A and B are shown apart, each in its own frame.
Chain A
């Protein structure tokens, strides 16, 4: 069974079409990147897939569960790390994880929190209030909060936005370690990040998917030398 099956998914805001009847399949364990310039429809697509906004038409199945017909079951299977870190600022790192584990009613909560603190190198700052953490640690916590729920599908919306090079590379290592274990949909404006991390990439513009393939095949298809050039080729407006 594919992890995600998107069928003619469309979202309109009055007359503006944000996502224009897209269809594709994402395999279980795949790291799939959604790329596009601002306003291409990436975030709207993720919002629909995570039941944060209702599609105008079409549907998507997450491990067989419809985002329209069965949103609460879908929400048990997914987790999201939004563009902003979305952490509770006055709570400590550990309290944030305990809180999310409580909301998702995670079993063996204590041992799982300890495990994820170690895995994401957050144990040193576990008793620190999150508003005092550096941007890199806040991003890492945001992903840890998404992972503690043991999701089958993880949405990472620009996870390395605003991070310095070292913090970004450290976060790449975290994301790479998840590959094959859970299905990840990543949105990013860093081409290098998409090229390095993704199994497959979809490039969107004006709410449509212009190409879906591996980064290497996308470079070949555009006859470009770099992935960034290939992206520019496919991200141009479709007339």
Chain B
């Protein structure tokens, strides 16, 4: 109940800051449209592969939204007030997470509508892909929670942009990661972003043969990120409120 009240407030804070929202949704949408105009001879840019990859890339901006909101709440002492309330760590984590879900759904649905306009065939797989993208987004929301907990409102956007860059370069969104050498490929295999793109592509293509590994990596990543987030919130609540 408290988590829902908190989520409602957080969502209002995000949607009433339209500039960052327009940027966070507009830039990926622009990339989706513009790269379909170039007819690049690579399977990566085929709309069937590029649309789910852009949806994952856009989740990097969800990290930015949540990190900025939390760090701002800390800087303005809003969280000090909330830490002195009867809210528990789970209420904070749930409240920030649930607020991001409507943003995630809006982004994803919008990108697939644009993708259909650009030639993606309408199929039930689009719905399945949107549904699997919601749990995948927890990785990015959780990373925002972590960054928001440890950075100031001035440094949060900068640190979050590292995540956006990491998604761009290690997810296989722009190029096949096996093309750039062993070391880089190892980094891509350690980070969860490639698996997020692989899983969303598998759902869109209706090819579920190789989804076990991505599912395992994504679930483990979500569990680790949220465990650390809960511990950090607990520590913040019991220690310095800032």
Q: A residues touching B (Cβ–Cβ < 8 Å)?
A: 47, 50-54, 72, 75-76, 78-91, 95, 99-100, 102-105, 129, 145-146, 149
Known contacts: A75-B85, A105-B1. The answer to whether A53 contacts B13 by CB under 8 A is: no
Known contacts: A82-B77, A89-B76. The answer to whether A103 contacts B2 by CB under 8 A is: yes
Q: Which of B29-37, B141-149, B233-241 touches A?
A: B233-241
Contacts of B17 in A (CB 8 A): 90
Partner of B86, one of A76, A84, A88, A145: A76
Q: Which of B4-12, B40-48, B116-124, B208-216 touches A?
A: B4-12
Residues B83 and A52 in contact, CB atoms below 8 Å apart: yes
Partner of A99, one of B9, B84, B88: B9
A149 to B87, CA, bound (A): 13
A149 to B84, CA, bound (A): 12
Known contacts: A72-B86, A88-B13. The answer to whether A99 contacts B5 by CB under 8 A is: yes
* B81 within 8 Å of A (CB atoms): yes
* B128 within 8 Å of A (CB atoms): no
Residues A88 and B78 in contact, CB atoms below 8 Å apart: yes
Which 8 A/B pairs are nearest by Cβ-Cβ distance? A102-B5, A90-B16, A84-B77, A86-B77, A82-B77, A86-B81, A80-B84, A52-B241
Contacts of B6 in A (CB 8 A): 103
Interface size class of B (residues with CB under 8 A): 20 to 34
Shortest CB-to-CB span from B65 to chain A, Å, is 13
Shortest CB-to-CB span from A122 to chain B, Å, is 17
* B217 within 8 Å of A (CB atoms): no
Partner of B84, one of A50, A85, A90, A129: A50
Shortest CB-to-CB span from A39 to chain B, Å, is 15
Partner of A103, one of B12, B13, B16, B85: B85
- Among B1, B80, B88, B240, the most chain A Cβ lie within 10 Å of the Cβ of B80
Q: B residues touching A (Cβ–Cβ < 8 Å)?
A: 1-2, 5-6, 8-9, 12-13, 16-17, 76-78, 80-88, 237-241
Known contacts: A53-B239, A90-B13, A103-B85. The answer to whether A80 contacts B80 by CB under 8 A is: yes
Known contacts: A50-B84, A53-B241, A80-B84. The answer to whether A91 contacts B9 by CB under 8 A is: yes
Known contacts: A53-B241, A102-B5, A103-B6. The answer to whether A87 contacts B84 by CB under 8 A is: no
A100 to B239, CA, bound (A): 23
CB-nearest residue of chain A to B82? A103
Contacts of B76 in A (CB 8 A): 84-87, 89
Known contacts: A53-B238, A88-B13, A90-B12. The answer to whether A79 contacts B84 by CB under 8 A is: yes
Residues B78 and A87 in contact, CB atoms below 8 Å apart: yes
Residues A88 and B83 in contact, CB atoms below 8 Å apart: no
Contacts of B87 in A (CB 8 A): 103
Shortest CB-to-CB span from B97 to chain A, Å, is 17
Shortest CB-to-CB span from B240 to chain A, Å, is 6
A88 to B85, CA, bound (A): 15
Partner of A75, one of B78, B86, B240: B86
Partner of A52, one of B8, B16, B84, B88: B84
Residues A47 and B85 in contact, CB atoms below 8 Å apart: no
Contacts of A105 in B (CB 8 A): 1-2
Residues B13 and A91 in contact, CB atoms below 8 Å apart: yes
A90 to B78, CA, bound (A): 12
A104 to B85, CA, bound (A): 7
A194 to B51, CA, bound (A): 63
A88 to B83, CA, bound (A): 15
A102 to B10, CA, bound (A): 14
Contacts of A52 in B (CB 8 A): 80, 83-84, 237, 240-241
A100 to B78, CA, bound (A): 11
A129 to B6, CA, bound (A): 18
